[in-house]
C-alpha cells in the first residue's frame, strides 16, 4: 500500500461577489414571512369547514343563511363619506377615518334573526392575525365584541344595516372586507371583491386618536385644504410660492400607501403616527432608500424637472408610484410640499413652515463661523459654514406618549436630506415645545432643529500665524422669522414665538443654559461692543435693474472714527453657498462724532446678470476695522431679485362639468432670448397638471398658452402656473376662480 498523501490539491478562493448583496429572508428566524406591504394580500376561503370534510363532501347549504349583496355606502352623496370628511377623495372605494362609526348594508337570503351568527371581517396585509390587529372580526351583538365595535342599526326585510367603529389606534391603510355566516358545518363568506375594499385613515376629529386636533379652523386648513402658500425669499422681502397639494386627487392615496410599502415598514406599525412620520421623513428623499425625490442644488436639471418648475405634488407622487423610481428633482420646499400632501392625505394634520436664515451643518455646536483676515476682509477660502436664506420643513400634529407631558402638539419633520439620524437621512418628529424650552435630549433630532433656529454667527479674525480669535458675535441673525400660512386665509402667520423666546428675554437665557447641559456649545467670549454701527437698507429690486446700495455708518462715540471698509457682493444659492463674487469695494470712511455717513455703491446689472444662479440672490457682506479702536464692524444683507410675472386668466361658464378656458401670457422683458422654456399649470378640483414646452422665446416677444378644462366640483379655488428655463427660474402666476354647482 502506498504512503502517498491523500490531501486535496488547494484551489483559489471563489471570487468575492460585487454589487449590492441579495436580500436576506427571515427564514430560520421567524415562523412566517413578515407583513410589510399593504398591497400584498391573502385570499380568505369562501368556506371554512369545522373539522374534516368526509368523502361525500358537504351537504347542501341552501337551508342556511346566505349573503346575497353588500352595499358599502361608498358614494360621495351617501352618509359614510360625508360623516368622515372624505367626500373630496377621488376614489370609488369607501374611505373612512378610525375611531368613528360607519355603516354597511348587507342583504341576506332571508330575514335576519338574532340567533344567526354573522360577522364582518377586515383583513390587511399578507399574514392576517387577530393578535397583530391585521385580522379583525366584528360582531353585531353586545355580548361578543372585539377591538372594533359593531351593532345593528336597522333591519328591513332581508336587509341589515350594520354600524362598525374601527379602534382609534388601528392600522391605517387599505383593508379587504368579508361578510361571514356561521353554519353547522363551517363558516361561509363572501368572495373577494375589490369594490368592498376600504381605506381607513387617521382621524383628527376624534379625541381618542393620537392626531386629534381640537380646532376646527386648523383642521380645515391642515387636513382638508389642497391649496398651499410656501414662503421663500428673504425675511425682510418675503415671497410666496403657491402649491397644489392635491391630496384628494385620483391615485394619490394609493401612492402614499406605496411609499410605506417601499420602505418595508411593518403593517403593524402603521397605526402609530410617530413611526409613520419618521419612516416617511426618510422615504420622501432618495439618499439611502430609493425614496420619492432626488435632491439637486447644482443648477443643472437636464435629466429631470427643475425644482422651481413644479406647481404641485400630484405629478411627483403618481410618477413615483407608477415608475417605482425616484423622481428628479427637488429642493427643500418641494420635499416639504410633497411630505405635506402625504401627511394630509393619510389624515395627519400638517403644514409647511419656512425658517428664514436657517443654520445648517454646524454639528450642534450652535455656531456658524465666518473667518476674516487681519484687515477685516472676509476669507472665503476658510469660511465653510453656510446659512440658508430660508429652509422649509413640516409640522404635524400628534400626541407624544413617548415624551413627558406637555411635549405633544406640533412636531417638526423634515424630509430634506441634510444629516443622518439613526443611520438614515431623516429628521423628526421633534417636539416644537421641546425645541422652544431647550429640552433637546428628547427624540427625535430636537438638537438639530434647535440649532437651525438658535445658532450664533461668530466672526473670527485670523492672524497670519493661523490663530483665530472671535471679534463679533451676532446672536439674532439665525432663525430671524418662522412663517406658515394662516388658517382659512391667504395671509401668512408668524410662529417664531413657538420656537423661541424673544431675544434678551429671561426665559431665552434659561433655555440656552438648558441646551448647553445637553451638549450644545455657544460662543461665550465677552466682546466689547463697537461704537460704530453698520446699517444696510431693505431693497426691492427686479432682475436686470441697476440700483444703489447705501451703506450707513453711525458713530455713537464723541470722537471721530475712521473705518477701513470692505464691501463684497456675491451671487449665492438660496442655501447661502457662494457662486461667484461680482462686486468688491474697499473705501475708507470717516464719520464725525455722533454723526452718520452714507457710502453709496452703484450696482450695475451687467456685472451680475450673466453670473446669476436660480432664485437670483445677491448677498452683500460689509466688514470693517475701526482704526482708532481696532474694533470689527459687520453687516449682512441678502437681496432677492424679483422676477417678472405670468398673467393667468380664465373664461367660460364657471360651472361644474362645463368646459372653461385658461390663458397664460408672458412677455420676455430681457435683451436676450430664453431657451428651453417649460410652463406648467394646475388647480385643485378644476385642472389636473398640464405642461407646455417652448424651445425659444426671443427678447421682447410674448407667448400665449390656452388650455381647456372642465371643473369637477363647486367652490373657490385657484389656478397656478409656473415658467421655468435655465436662464430664468421661479416665474409664477395665479388666479382665483369660483365654480358654481
Report whether 508 belongs to an annotated binding site: yes
- Asked whether 193 and 329 are in contact (CB, 8 A), the reply is no
Report whether 643 belongs to an annotated binding site: no
How is residue 100 annotated by DSSP? S
**What does each C-alpha distance from 279 to 275, 359, 415, 426 come to in angstroms?**
6, 24, 10, 8
Tell me how far apart the alpha carbons of residues 371 and 468 are, in angstroms, rounded to a whole number: 8
Largest CA distance in the chain: 115
Could you tell me which residues come within 8 angstroms of residue 49 by beta carbon, excluding any fewer than 6 positions away?
58, 185, 186
Q: Name which of 365, 97, 364, 331 is nearest 213 in CA terms.
A: 97
Question: E-strand spans in 415-527?
Answer: 420-421, 424-425, 427-431, 456-462, 468-474, 481-485, 492-494
- Asked whether 400 and 420 are in contact (CB, 8 A), the reply is no
- Asked whether 413 and 346 are in contact (CB, 8 A), the reply is no
- Asked whether 398 and 274 are in contact (CB, 8 A), the reply is yes
Report whether 517 belongs to an annotated binding site: no
SS (H, E, C) 504-567: CCHHHHHHHHHHHHCCCCCCCCCCCCCCEEEECCCCCCECCCCEEEEEEEEECCCCCEEEEEEE
From edge to edge, which strands make up the β-sheet containing 674-683? Answer: 687-697, 674-683, 715-725, 728-739
Report whether 523 belongs to an annotated binding site: no
Residue matched to cell numbers 371554512? 48
Q: Give the DSSP H or E segment for 339.
A: helix 332-346
Tell me how far apart the alpha carbons of residues 738 and 741 are, in angstroms, rounded to a whole number: 10
Could you tell me which residues come within 8 angstroms of residue 645 by beta carbon, excluding any fewer than 6 positions away?
731, 732, 733
CB-neighbour burial class of residue 450 (10 A; exposed 0-12, middle 13-18, buried 19+)? buried
- Asked whether 204 and 86 are in contact (CB, 8 A), the reply is no
Strand partners, 623: 566, 634
CB-neighbour burial class of residue 343 (10 A; exposed 0-12, middle 13-18, buried 19+)? buried
Tell me how far apart the alpha carbons of residues 149 and 437 are, in angstroms, rounded to a whole number: 41
Whats the size of the chain, residue-wise?
741
Buried b (16+ CB within 10 A) or exposed e, 240-254: ebbbbbbbbbebbbb
Q: Are strands 387-398 and 468-474 parallel, antiparallel or unpaired?
A: unpaired
Report the sign of the C-alpha dihedral through residues 219, 99, 279, 265, in that order: negative
Tell me how far apart the alpha carbons of residues 369 and 467 are, in angstroms, rounded to a whole number: 14
**Coil, helix or strand for 498?**
helix
Could you tell me which residues come within 8 angstroms of residue 721 by beta carbon, excluding any fewer than 6 positions away?
311, 646, 648, 664, 679, 680, 681, 732, 733, 734
Half-sphere CA count of 610, side-chain side, radius 13 A:
3
Tell me how far apart the alpha carbons of residues 189 and 60 are, in angstroms, rounded to a whole number: 15
Residues marked active site are found at: 332, 391, 414
For residue 589, the tally of other CB atoms under 10 A from its CB is 18
- Asked whether 514 and 522 are in contact (CB, 8 A), the reply is no
- Dihedral over alpha carbons 26, 27, 33, 39 (to 10 degrees): 70
Q: Are strands 173-183 and 47-49 parallel, antiparallel or unpaired?
A: unpaired
**What does each C-alpha distance from 141 to 116, 118, 165, 442 come to in angstroms?**
10, 9, 14, 45
- Residues of each annotated binding site: 454, 456, 503, 508
- Residues of each annotated binding site for Ca(2+): 454, 456, 503, 508
Amino acid at each position: 500500500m502506498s504512503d502517498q498523501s491523500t490531501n486535496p490539491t488547494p484551489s483559489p478562493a471563489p471570487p468575492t461577489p460585487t454589487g449590492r448583496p441579495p436580500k436576506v429572508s427571515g427564514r430560520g428566524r421567524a415562523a412566517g414571512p413578515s407583513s410589510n406591504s399593504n398591497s400584498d394580500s391573502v385570499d380568505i376561503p369562501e368556506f371554512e369547514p369545522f373539522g374534516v370534510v368526509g368523502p361525500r363532501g358537504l351537504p347542501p347549504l341552501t337551508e342556511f343563511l346566505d349573503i346575497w349583496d353588500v352595499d358599502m355606502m361608498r358614494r360621495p352623496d351617501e352618509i359614510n363619506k360625508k360623516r368622515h370628511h372624505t367626500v373630496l377623495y377621488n376614489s370609488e372605494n369607501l374611505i373612512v377615518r378610525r375611531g368613528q362609526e360607519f355603516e354597511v348594508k348587507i342583504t341576506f337570503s332571508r330575514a335576519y334573526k338574532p340567533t344567526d351568527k354573522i360577522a364582518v371581517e377586515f383583513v390587511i396585509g399578507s399574514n392576517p392575525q387577530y393578535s397583530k390587529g391585521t385580522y379583525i372580526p366584528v360582531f353585531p351583538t353586545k355580548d361578543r365584541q372585539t377591538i372594533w365595535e359593531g351593532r345593528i342599526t336597522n333591519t328591513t326585510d332581508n336587509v341589515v344595516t350594520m354600524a362598525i367603529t374601527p379602534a382609534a389606534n388601528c392600522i391605517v391603510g387599505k383593508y379587504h372586507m368579508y361578510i361571514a355566516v356561521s353554519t353547522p358545518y363551517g363558516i361561509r363568506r363572501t368572495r373577494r371583491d375589490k369594490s368592498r375594499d376600504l381605506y381607513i385613515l387617521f382621524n383628527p376629529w376624534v379625541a381618542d386618536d393620537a392626531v386629534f386636533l381640537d380646532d376646527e379652523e386648523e383642521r380645515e386648513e391642515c387636513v382638508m385644504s389642497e391649496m398651499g402658500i410656501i414662503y421663500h425669499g428673504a425675511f425682510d422681502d418675503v415671497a410666496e410660492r403657491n402649491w397644489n397639494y392635491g391630496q384628494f386627487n385620483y391615485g394619490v392615496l394609493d401612492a402614499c400607501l406605496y411609499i410605506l410599502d417601499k420602505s418595508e415598514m411593518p403593517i403593524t406599525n402603521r397605526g402609530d403616527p410617530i413611526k409613520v412620520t419618521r419612516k416617511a421623513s426618510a422615504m420622501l428623499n432618495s439618499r439611502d432608500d430609493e425614496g420619492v425625490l432626488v435632491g439637486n442644488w447644482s443648477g443643472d436639471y437636464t435629466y429631470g424637472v427643475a425644482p422651481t418648475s413644479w406647481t404641485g405634488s400630484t405629478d411627483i407622487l403618481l410618477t413615483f408610484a407608477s415608475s417605482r423610481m425616484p423622481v428628479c428633482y427637488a429642493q427643500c420646499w418641494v420635499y416639504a410640499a410633497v411630505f405635506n400632501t402625504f401627511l394630509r392625505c393619510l389624515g395627519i394634520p400638517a403644514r409647511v413652515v419656512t425658517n428664514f436664515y436657517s443654520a445648517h451643518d454646524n454639528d450642534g455646536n450652535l455656531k456658524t463661523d465666518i473667518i476674516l483676515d487681519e484687515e477685516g476682509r472676509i476669507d472665503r477660502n476658510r469660511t465653510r459654514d453656510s446659512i440658508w436664506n430660508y429652509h422649509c420643513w413640516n409640522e404635524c400634529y400628534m400626541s407624544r406618549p413617548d415624551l413627558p407631558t406637555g411635549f405633544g402638539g406640533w412636531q417638526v419633520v423634515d424630509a430634506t436630506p441634510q444629516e443622518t439620524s439613526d443611520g438614515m437621512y431623516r429628521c423628526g418628529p421633534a417636539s416644537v415645545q421641546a425645541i422652544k424650552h431647550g429640552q433637546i435630549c428628547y427624540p427625535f433630532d430636537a438638537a438639530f432643529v434647535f440649532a437651525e433656529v438658535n445658532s450664533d454667527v461668530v466672526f473670527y479674525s485670523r492672524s497670519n500665524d493661523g490663530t483665530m480669535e472671535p471679534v463679533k458675535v451676532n446672536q439674532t441673525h439665525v432663525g430671524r422669522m418662522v412663517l406658515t400660512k394662516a388658517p382659512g386665509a391667504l395671509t401668512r402667520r408668524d410662529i417664531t414665538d413657538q420656537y423661541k423666546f424673544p431675544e434678551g428675554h429671561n426665559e431665552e437665557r434659561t433655555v440656552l443654559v438648558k441646551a448647553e447641559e445637553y451638549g450644545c456649545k455657544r460662543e461665550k467670549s465677552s466682546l466689547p461692543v463697537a461704537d460704530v454701527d453698520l446699517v444696510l437698507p431693505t431693497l426691492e429690486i427686479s432682475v436686470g435693474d441697476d440700483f444703489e446700495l447705501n451703506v450707513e455708518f453711525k458713530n455713537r462715540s464723541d470722537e471721530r472714527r475712521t473705518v477701513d471698509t470692505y464691501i463684497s457682493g456675491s451671487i449665492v444659492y438660496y442655501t447661502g453657498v457662494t457662486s461667484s463674487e461680482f462686486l468688491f469695494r474697499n473705501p475708507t470712511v470717516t464719520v464725525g462724532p455722533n454723526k452718520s455717513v452714507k457710502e453709496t455703491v452703484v450696482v450695475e446689472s451687467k456685472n451680475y446678470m450673466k453670473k446669476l444662479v436660480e432664485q437670483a440672490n445677491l448677498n452683500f457682506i460689509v466688514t470693517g476695522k475701526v482704526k482708532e479702536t481696532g474694533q470689527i464692524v459687520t453687516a449682512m444683507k441678502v437681496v432677492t431679485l424679483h422676477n417678472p410675472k405670468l398673467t393667468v386668466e380664465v373664461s367660460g361658464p364657471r360651472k361644474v362639468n362645463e368646459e372653461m378656458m385658461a390663458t397664460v401670457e408672458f412677455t420676455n422683458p430681457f435683451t436676450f432670448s430664453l431657451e428651453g422654456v417649460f410652463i406648467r399649470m394646475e388647480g385643485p378640483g378644476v385642472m389636473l397638471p398640464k405642461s407646455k414646452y417652448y424651445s425659444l422665446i426671443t427678447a421682447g416677444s410674448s407667448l400665449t398658452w390656452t388650455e381647456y378644462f372642465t371643473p369637477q366640483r363647486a367652490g373657490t379655488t385657484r389656478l397656478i402656473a409656473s415658467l421655468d428655463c435655465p436662464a430664468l427660474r421661479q416665474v409664477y402666476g395665479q388666479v382665483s376662480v369660483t365654480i358654481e354647482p
